[in-house]
Amino acid sequence: MSIDSQMSTEQVRGPVIQVQGLEKSYKDLHVLRGVDFDVARGSIFALLGSNGAGKTTVVRILSTLLKPDAGTASVNGFDVATQAANVQESISLTGQFAAVDEILSGRENLVLIARLRHLRDPGRIADDLLARFSLTDAATRKVSTYSGGMRRRLDIAMSLIGNPPVIFLDEPTTGLDPQARLEVWQAVRELAGQGTTVLLTTQHLDEAEQLADRIAVLHRGRIIANGTLSELKQLLPPAKVEYVEKQPTLEDVFLAIVGDDGTDSKVGAASPDGTNN
């Protein structure tokens, strides 16, 4: 029986991701302290937070790689704890570094994944994705010759083989230069435009501002704000600069609700190893 045939009408109409009361600790370190959020189908949802806020831990739980200590979560209508196999068939996960084989060409990487997933006509699947991510001209080149942006676009393309309805992008622009970041942003927009639900974790304010339909601010293991960009900006009154009303930026909002007590890395600056919790 296919996943689609197992899903009820209510599951299809409801949020594609539902998280309630999620908790996770590593010995005495409380990483998640009761996280709640929903993600609408076909939207881009940004989980924004500093290094160590718990973003990657949330993604690992949602992708069934880690079990929570408390709380519930479902993806595409399936419980991550009791229906892990169905969740895994519904998602794709792209981490902070492109998981591509540099010895192979871009096309060979895509064909390999399609064959591993036992899909029909892997060559056509590869060619369609190469065209979709503007990599056709580089299709036969070894990935070792690709730029950072090209590798990341290929990585995202590989994650879409099999048409998963949900994709997790965990810090997708880590280590990329400005031009490469713009290329990845465009690829993410196209994903959502074709109906894929995207959960994006980021510590870059501009990334959340540019891409997300909704933004949740994760701080010290809790969601402390959740809304559209305009809703978050309404948390602060507009300032007047020389009698001209100036609307608050996402950075203004973030710093106001998180504060700066010196215990967290600032959002927007990558950690030395490019990782976060």
Alpha-carbon gap, residue 141 to 3, rounded angstroms: 36
Lookup: tokens for 69: 């200590």
The pLDDT assigned to 1 comes to 44
Least confident of 10-14, 72-76, 158-162, 186-190: 10-14
Backbone angles phi, psi at 77, to 5 degrees: 90, 0
The arithmetic mean of pLDDT across residues 7-31, rounded, is 82
The overall average pLDDT reported for the chain is 84
pLDDT tens track for 118-173: 999 999 999 999 998 889 999 999 999 999 889 888 988 898 898 899 999 988 88
The per-residue pLDDT for 9 is 47
Q: What is the 3-state secondary structure (H, E, C) of the chain?
A: CCHHHHCCHHHHHCCCEEEEEEEEEECCEEEEEEEEEEECCCCEEEEECCCCCCHHHHHHHHCCCCCCCEEEEEECCEECCCCHHHHHHHEEEECCCCCCCCCCEHHHHHHHHHHHCCCCCHHHHHHHHHHHCCCHHHCCCEHHHCCHHHHHHHHHHHHCCCCCCEEEEECCCCCCCHHHHHHHHHHHHHHHHCCCEEEEEECCHHHHHHHCCEEEEEECCEEEEEECHHHHHCCCCCEEECCEEECCCHHHHHHHHHCCCCCCCCCCCCCCCCCCC
Q: Is the pLDDT of residue 205 over 80?
A: yes
pLDDT number for residue 124? 95
Among 37-41, 244-248, 273-277, the range of highest mean pLDDT: 37-41
Mean pLDDT of 200-228: 92
Backbone angles phi, psi at 102, to 5 degrees: -70, -20
Q: How confident is the model at residue 258 (pLDDT cuts 50, 70, 90)?
A: confident
More confident residue, 41 or 262: 41
97 burial level (CB within 10 Å; 0-12, 13-18, 19+): middle
Span 15-258: which CATH code? 3.40.50.300
How crowded is the C-beta side of 275, counted as CA atoms within 13 Å? 3
User: How many other C-beta atoms are found inside a 10 Å radius of the C-beta of residue 179?
Assistant: 10
pLDDT value, residue 213? 95
pLDDT at residue number 190 = 86
The answer to whether the predicted template modeling score (pTM) of the entire model surpasses 0.95 is no
In terms of residues, how long is the chain?
Answer: 277
Q: How far apart are CA 253 and CA 243, in angstroms?
A: 21
Q: Which of 191, 1, 186 is nearest to 86 (CA)?
A: 1
CB-based burial of residue 169 (10 Å sphere; 0-12 exposed, 13-18 middle, 19+ buried)?
Answer: buried
The domain locations on the chain are 15-258
